[in-house]
Structure 1
Amino acid sequence: MAQKNRNKWIGKAPVVGLIVLGMLAFWYLELGQYLSLDYIKSSQERFQTLYQSHRVLVIAAYMGIYILVTALSLPGAAVMTLAGGALFGLVTGTVVVSFASTIGATLACLVSRFLLREWVQRKFGEKLATINAGIEKEGAFYLFSLRLVPIFPFFVINLVMGLTPIRLFTFFWVSQIGMLAGTIVYVNAGKELARIDSLSGILSPGVLISFALLGVFPITVKKLLALYKRKLRVGLKKSA
C-alpha cells in the first residue's frame, strides 16, 4: 500500500513541479507589479493602441494570461477583469473574461482534484460524507449560489470544489453562468478605469447584498419546491 501511494505521488510530481515553478517565477520576477491597478491604468493607452493593431493576438494573449493566473490561483484576476473592460469594452470584454475565468477556474479545480482529492477523501472521508452527499444531490445549486456571492474568494471555491464529487462539466457551466453577473459588474467598471482608485470601491454594500440575495435564491426555491412536493404527497396519501 505504501509503495502504491508513493508511486501515485511520483506520478503527480511533474504537475506539482510546474505549479511550484510558475509560482516561484511569479514572485521572483515580481510579475505581480504588472497585475496591479496602477500599472494597468498607466498602460491603458499603450494597450489600446496594440489592441487596435492586433485584435486577435491581444485577445488570445490576454486570455492565456488570465487562464494561467486563475489556474494557479495567483492574485490579479480582479485587476485583469477591469483591464478586460477597459481594453475590449462591455460586450467583448464580458465574453472574453467570462470564458477565460471559467476555463482557469476549471483547471484550478482539476489540479486540486488531481493532487489532493484522493488524500483528503481518504483522510476525512467519514467527516465529508454528508458534504459529499449534499454536493451529489444539489451540487449545481450550491455552486451557483457560491458563484453569485462575490464576498467569497473564487480561488477558494475552485480549490474546495476540486475535493468534492462534482463533475467538471457541471462545475464549468455552473461557474460560467454563476460568475456572469459579477463579471459584468467588474468589466463595466473597467470601462471607467481612470476613475477607479481601489478594487474595494467597485462593489458597494448594496450591490453585495443584492448578490447575496441572488445567491441564496436558487437553493431557497429548491427547498420550497421539495417541501411543497412532500406536502402534496402527504395530502394525496390522506385523500386516498
Structure 2
Amino acid sequence: MTPERTAPKSALARRLPLIIIAAVALVGAFTLREHLSFDALAENREALIALRDQHYLLAVLGFVAIYVVIVAFSLPGATIATLTGGFLFGVFPGALFNITAATIGATLIFLAVRWGLGERLVARMDASQGRIHQIREAIRENELSMLFLIRLVPAVPFFVANILPALVGVSPLRFIVTTFLGIIPGGVVYTWVGAGLGEVFARGETPNLGIIFEPHILGPILGLCALAALPIVIKAIRGGKS
C-alpha cells in the first residue's frame, strides 16, 4: 500500500474518536435532555435510593460510568449528575465520585481532541511566526496558572476547558492534575446542593443552581482564581521592567 493511500486512512483513524464524540453529542443534545433532567431525577429518586441501599458498589460503579460517558461525550446533564452524586452518596464520598468521574470523562475527550487535532495544530503553531506563535508561547510560559484559571472560573464552559488545552499542546499529566484539583471547589458546592435534595423534593421545589454565584461561595473561588493568576501577573510585571 502506497504512502499516499495510508496517510488519509491514518488521519481518519486519528479523528475517528473525535467524530464519534461529536456525533453522539449531537444526537444526545436532542434525545437525552428530558432523560437527564431534574424532573427525571425527582421521578426516579426512590428507585435510585433502593438500588443504592441494596447494591451500593454496583450503584457507585454505575453512577461513575454514566457520569464519565456524559462528560466524555459532552452530553446534557453533567450538573444533574453532580447533584445526583450528592443526593445518593452525600457530600463525601459523593464529591469524590463526582470529581473523579468528571476528570476521567474530561481526560477522554481531551485525548480524543489531542490525538485527532492537537498534535498537528501545535506543530503548526510552533513552526509559525507572528501572533499565533506568540500566543502559544504565552500559554506555555504560564501553563499551570492558565489551566487552573479555566477550571476555577465558573463562567468558562466545562467542555471548552476540556478541548482548549488539547489544541495548544498541554501534556496529559498536567491536564489531569489541574482538572482534578481545579474542579474541586465547584464540584463540592454542587455536591453539597445535591446532598440537600431530599428536603427540596419534600417541598416540591427545584434546587438553586445559581448558588455558585452567590457572594459567600463565589468570593473564595475568586480568591483561588487570583492566587492562580498571581504568577502570570508577576511575570508580566518583571517582563515590563526588563
State if a TM-score over 0.5 links the two structures.
yes
Q: In the aligned structure 1, how far is the partner of 2:44 from the partner of 2:176?
A: 32
CA contact (8 A) 1:147 1:179 kept: yes
Q: In the aligned structure 2, how far is the partner of 1:120 from the partner of 1:226?
A: 27
Match of 2:147 in 1: 143
Structure 1, unpaired ranges of 5+: 235-240
Pick closer, same or farther for the CA change 1:55–1:83 going to 2, 3 Å: same
Match of 1:204 among 195, 198, 213: 213
Q: What displacement does 1:2 show?
A: 6.9
Q: Deviations over 1:166-220 (max 9, x none)?
A: 1111110111111101100000000122526256433234133542332122221
Computed over aligned residues only, the root mean square deviation of the Cα atoms, in angstroms, reads 2.9
Match of 1:154 among 143, 158, 164: 158
Moved more, 137-146 or 100-109: 137-146
Q: Deviations over 1:57-104 (max 9, x none)?
A: 111111111111111112211110001000110111011011100111
Match of 1:60 in 2: 61
CA contact (8 A) 2:15 2:115 kept: no
Pick closer, same or farther for the CA change 1:128–1:73 going to 2, 3 Å: farther
Q: What displacement does 1:21 show?
A: 5.1
Match of 2:24 in 1: 22
Which structure 1 residue ranges, 4+ long, deviate > 6 Å from structure 2? 228-231
Q: How many residues are paired up?
A: 231
Where does 1:1-240 land on structure 2 (aligned, <5 Å)? 5-12=7-14, 14-16=16-18, 18-20=20-22, 22-23=24-25, 26-27=28-29, 30-121=31-122, 125-126=128-129, 127-193=131-197, 194-195=199-200, 197=206, 200-206=209-215, 207-221=217-231, 223-224=233-234
Pick closer, same or farther for the CA change 1:131–1:2 going to 2, 3 Å: farther
Q: In the aligned structure 2, how far is the partner of 1:181 from the partner of 1:27?
A: 27
Match of 1:238 in 2: none
Q: In the aligned structure 1, how far is the partner of 2:29 from the partner of 2:240?
A: 55
Q: In the aligned structure 2, how far is the partner of 1:17 from the partner of 1:135?
A: 27
Pick closer, same or farther for the CA change 1:58–1:17 going to 2, 3 Å: same
CA contact (8 A) 1:147 1:215 kept: no
Pick closer, same or farther for the CA change 1:117–1:221 going to 2, 3 Å: closer
